[in-house]
């Protein structure tokens, strides 16, 4: 009998997270807009699969029209854990529908695995949310107004995020506004329903973010998934 045979799926997953944490991983993805590196699937999937094989876990991803789900099974027991993310869409230039679907599934696979194994990309968050304080731009006052508006409307249950369409040229400041406003909204959420309502109420805004910078959108959706999972525990 293996040393992990009597562990439940939660204990095994925590062990797997620690083992992965002690594994050197390199980030091969690069975001040219915000100037940060990020994990691509190939950077961590081989290590995760090896760890899961050793301790008796198996991850299976499935999709519906509404949700993408990563189910982690205990291969030495009957228990499992589900991690979910809202489904999205992609409109990549020069690609047909199946290619766009493949892009969405690739992004969602990365979000789900990074959430399940607590892969935190600190530099991505620093690069996008810290830029306003380091290099203030002329529209700082407007950004503060956006933050206050998000606080007021969030408390009232409206969850409407206010951010103008991205200007021509470098969209970094606009993305920072959206990121900070989403952070405030998620901080005010008290349930999974709140998180879903924030996403649904601002779906058009998030679609604009995805068109401008798919990788920033990826980081943003990871925050939504992590917050939703927190209320599901």
pLDDT for position 178? 83
Computed over every residue of the chain, the mean pLDDT equals 76
Query: What is the SS3 assignment for 66?
Result: coil
Per residue in 173-208, pLDDT tens? 778 888 888 888 888 888 888 888 888 888 888 888
Q: What is the CATH number of domain 1-119?
A: 3.30.390
Report how far apart, in Å, the C-alpha atoms of 209 and of each of 157, 203, 215 are: 23, 10, 9
Q: What percent of the chain has pLDDT over 70?
A: 72
Per residue in 51-85, pLDDT tens? 999 999 999 999 998 889 999 999 999 999 999 98
* C-alpha to C-alpha distance for 83 and 116, rounded to whole angstroms: 7
Per residue in 140-149, pLDDT tens? 333 334 343 4
| Region of poorest pLDDT, from 22-31, 36-45, 91-100, 123-132 | 123-132
pLDDT for position 157? 54
Nearest to 8, CA basis, from 77, 62, 64: 77
Read off the pLDDT band of 139 (50, 70, 90).
very low
- Quickly list DSSP for 160-219: ----PPPPSS--HHHHHHHHHHHHHHHHH--SHHHHHHHHHHTHHHHHHHHHH-HHHHHH
pLDDT for position 179? 84
Retrieve residue 64's tokens: 């519906």
pTM, to two decimals = 0.50
**Domain ranges (residues) in the chain:** 1-119, 122-233
């Amino acid at each position: 009998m293996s040393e992990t045979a009597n562990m439940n799926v939660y204990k095994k997953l925590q062990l797997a997270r620690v083992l992965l944490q002690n594994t050197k991983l390199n980030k091969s993805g690069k975001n040219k807009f915000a100037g940060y590196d990020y994990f691509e699937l190939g950077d961590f999937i081989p290590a995760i699969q090896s760890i899961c094989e050793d301790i008796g876990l198996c991850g299976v991803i499935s999709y519906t029209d509404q949700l993408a789900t990563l189910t982690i099974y205990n291969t030495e027991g009957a228990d499992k854990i589900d991690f979910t993310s809202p489904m999205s869409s992609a409109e990549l230039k020069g690609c047909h529908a199946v290619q766009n679907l493949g892009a969405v599934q690739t992004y969602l696979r990365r979000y789900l695995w990074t959430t399940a194994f607590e892969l935190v990309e600190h530099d991505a968050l620093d690069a996008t949310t810290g830029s306003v304080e380091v290099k203030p731009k002329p529209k700082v006052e407007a950004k503060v107004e956006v933050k206050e508006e998000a606080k007021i409307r969030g408390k009232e249950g409206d969850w409407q995020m206010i951010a103008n369409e991205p200007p021509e040229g470098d969209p970094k400041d606009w993305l920072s506004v959206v990121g900070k406003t989403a952070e405030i909204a998620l901080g005010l959420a008290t349930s999974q329903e709140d998180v879903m309502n924030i996403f649904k109420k601002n779906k058009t805004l998030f679609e604009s973010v995805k068109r401008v910078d798919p990788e920033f959108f990826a980081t943003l959706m990871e925050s939504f998934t992590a917050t939703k999972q927190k209320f599901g525990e």
